[in-house]
Structure 1
Amino acid sequence: MYTISDYLLDVLYYLNVKDILGVPGDYNLSFLDHITKRNDMKWRGNSNELNAAYMADGYARQNGFAAFVTTFGVGELSAINGITGSKVERVPVLEIVGSPSTQVQNNHKLMHHSLGDGTFNHFRKVHQDLGIKTGYLTKDNAVSTINDVIKYVIDNKRPAYLNFPSNLADMPLNPIFKKIIPQLFEDKSNSSNQVDNQTVINEIKNAKSPIIIVGEDIERFGLSSEVKKLIIDNQIPFADLIESKGTIDESLDQFIGTYNGKLSSPETNKLIENADLVLLLGTVIFDTNIGGFDQIFNNQNTIDINSSRIDFYSEIFTYYHENSFIKVIKEISKLKLENVNHKKIKFINKISQINSKDQLLTQNFYINAMQDFIKSGDTVVVDQGTSTFGLSLVKLPADVTFICQPSWSSIGYSFPATLGSEPAAPKRRTVLSVGEGSLLLTIQEMAFAIKNNLKPIIFILDNRGYTVERVIHGMTEPYNDVPQLDYAVIPQAFGASKDQYEYFDVKTENELVAAMKKINLSEEKLTIVRVCLAKDDAPSNLKQLGETLSQQNK
Structure 2
Amino acid sequence: MTTTTVGSYLATRLEQIGVRHYFAVPGDYNLVLLDQLLKNQRMQFVGCCNELNLGYACDGYARATGVAAGFVTFSVGGLSAINAIAGAYAEDLPIIFVSGGPNTNAWPENRPLHHTLGEVRYRYQLDMFKMVTACAVSIEHIDDAPELIDRAINECLRRRKPVYIEIACNLAGENIPSAPNQKLTAPVPCDEAALDAAVEHAATMLNTAIKPVLVGGVKLRPWEAEPAFAQLAEASGYAVAMMPNAKGFFPESHPQYIGTYWGPVSTPGCGEIVESSDAYLYAGPTFTDYTTVGYSAMINKDKLIQANPERVKLPGRTYNNVPLPLFLSKLAEKLKLNPTSLEAWKRLRPEPCCRPQVTPDTKLLTRYVTDRIENMLTPDMTLLAETGDSWFNGVKTKLPDGANFEIQMQYGSIGWSVGATLGYAMAMKGERRVISMIGDGSFQLTAQELSTIIRYELNPIIFLINNRGYTIEVEIHDGPYNNIKNWDYAGLMNVLNAEDGKGWSTRVDTVGELDAAIETALAHEGGPCLIELTIDRDDCSKELLEWGTRVATVNSAPPKWT
- Cα displacement (A) at 1:523: 4.7
SS, match of residue 45 in structure 2: strand
Structure 1, unaligned runs of 5 or more: none
Q: Write the distance in 2 (CA, Å) between the matches of 1:105 and 1:259.
A: 54
Match of 1:265? 267
Q: Write the distance in 1 (CA, Å) between the matches of 2:547 and 2:203.
A: 35
- Cα displacement (A) at 1:53: 0.3
Match of 2:103? 101
Q: Write the distance in 1 (CA, Å) between the matches of 2:482 and 2:527.
A: 33
Q: Write the distance in 2 (CA, Å) between the matches of 1:19 and 1:254.
A: 38
Moved more, 192-201 or 411-420: 192-201
Distance 1:333 1:65, change over 3 A: farther
Offset from partner CA, 1:482-509 (integer Å, 9 cap, x none):
1111223212212345882322321112
Match of 1:209? 211
TM-score, reference length from structure 1:
0.93
Match of 1:533? 535
Please tell me whether the aligned partners of residues 134 and 156 of structure 2 are also in contact (alpha carbons under 8 angstroms).
no
Match of 2:177? 174
Match of 1:337? 336
Q: Write the distance in 2 (CA, Å) between the matches of 1:170 and 1:364.
A: 55
Pairing 1:149–2:171 present: no
Moved more, 388-397 or 495-504: 495-504
Match of 2:446? 442
Which of 143, 158, 171 is equivalent to 1:140?
Answer: 143
> Which residues of 2 match residues 226-241 of structure 1 at below 5 A?
226-241=228-243
Which of 364, 368, 374 is equivalent to 1:365?
Answer: 368
Please tell me whether the aligned partners of residues 459 and 529 of structure 1 are also in contact (alpha carbons under 8 angstroms).
yes
Aligned residues: 546
Pairing 1:411–2:417 present: no
TM-score, reference length from structure 2:
0.92
SS, match of residue 28 in structure 2: coil
- Cα displacement (A) at 1:294: 1.2
SS, match of residue 232 in structure 1: helix
Distance 1:226 1:324, change over 3 A: closer
- Cα displacement (A) at 1:326: 3.6
Offset from partner CA, 1:184-218 (integer Å, 9 cap, x none):
31756544586733333433344442211111111
- Cα displacement (A) at 1:441: 0.5
Please tell me whether the aligned partners of residues 268 and 350 of structure 2 are also in contact (alpha carbons under 8 angstroms).
no
Q: Write the distance in 2 (CA, Å) between the matches of 1:493 and 1:513.
A: 25
Q: Write the distance in 2 (CA, Å) between the matches of 1:548 and 1:521.
A: 42
Match of 1:279? 281
Q: Write the distance in 2 (CA, Å) between the matches of 1:335 and 1:520.
A: 47
Pairing 1:161–2:164 present: yes
Q: Write the distance in 2 (CA, Å) between the matches of 1:509 and 1:13.
A: 46
Letter paired with 1:151 = N
Letter paired with 2:363 = L
Distance 1:342 1:114, change over 3 A: closer
> Which residues of 2 match residues 122-141 of structure 1 at below 5 A?
122-130=124-132, 132-137=134-139, 138-141=141-144
CA RMSD of aligned residues (A): 2.2
Structure 1 vs Structure 2: percent identity of aligned residues? Answer: 28
Offset from partner CA, 1:247-281 (integer Å, 9 cap, x none):
11111111111111111134111211232211010
Distance 1:544 1:497, change over 3 A: farther
Please tell me whether the aligned partners of residues 52 and 82 of structure 2 are also in contact (alpha carbons under 8 angstroms).
yes
> Which residues of 2 match residues 467-546 of structure 1 at below 5 A?
467-474=471-478, 477-496=479-498, 500-523=502-525, 525-546=527-548
- Cα displacement (A) at 1:237: 1.2
Offset from partner CA, 1:142-161 (integer Å, 9 cap, x none):
11211111111111111111
Letter paired with 2:171 = L
Moved more, 350-359 or 65-74: 350-359
Offset from partner CA, 1:196-243 (integer Å, 9 cap, x none):
333334333444422111111111122212211221232221111221
SS, match of residue 221 in structure 2: helix
Please tell me whether the aligned partners of residues 85 and 132 of structure 2 are also in contact (alpha carbons under 8 angstroms).
no
Letter paired with 2:330 = E
Please tell me whether the aligned partners of residues 132 and 159 of structure 1 are also in contact (alpha carbons under 8 angstroms).
yes
Q: Write the distance in 2 (CA, Å) between the matches of 1:409 and 1:93.
A: 18
Q: Write the distance in 2 (CA, Å) between the matches of 1:466 and 1:141.
A: 48
Structure 2, unaligned runs of 5 or more: 557-562
Pairing 1:62–2:64 present: yes
Letter paired with 1:220 = P
SS, match of residue 396 in structure 2: coil
Q: Write the distance in 2 (CA, Å) between the matches of 1:349 and 1:286.
A: 31
Match of 1:185? 185
- Cα displacement (A) at 1:11: 1.4
- Cα displacement (A) at 1:539: 0.8
Letter paired with 1:503 = S
Offset from partner CA, 1:457-482 (integer Å, 9 cap, x none):
000000011111111122xx432111
Distance 1:98 1:356, change over 3 A: same
Distance 1:339 1:435, change over 3 A: closer
Distance 1:23 1:88, change over 3 A: same
Q: Write the distance in 1 (CA, Å) between the matches of 2:35 and 2:59.
A: 24
> Which residues of 2 match residues 38-57 of structure 1 at below 5 A?
38-57=40-59
> Which residues of 2 match residues 301-450 of structure 1 at below 5 A?
301-307=303-309, 309-313=311-315, 315-319=317-321, 324-338=323-337, 341=340, 343-344=342-343, 345-346=345-346, 348=350, 352-357=354-359, 358-426=361-429, 427-450=431-454
Please tell me whether the aligned partners of residues 281 and 306 of structure 1 are also in contact (alpha carbons under 8 angstroms).
yes
Match of 2:32? 30
Please tell me whether the aligned partners of residues 206 and 339 of structure 1 are also in contact (alpha carbons under 8 angstroms).
no
Q: Write the distance in 1 (CA, Å) between the matches of 2:490 and 2:61.
A: 27
SS, match of residue 494 in structure 1: helix
Match of 1:464? 468
- Cα displacement (A) at 1:451: 1.0
Please tell me whether the aligned partners of residues 21 and 46 of structure 2 are also in contact (alpha carbons under 8 angstroms).
yes
Match of 1:84? 86
Match of 2:559? none
Offset from partner CA, 1:47-94 (integer Å, 9 cap, x none):
111000000000000010001011111111101100000011111111
Q: Write the distance in 2 (CA, Å) between the matches of 1:432 and 1:404.
A: 10
Moved more, 14-23 or 303-312: 303-312
- Cα displacement (A) at 1:26: 0.9
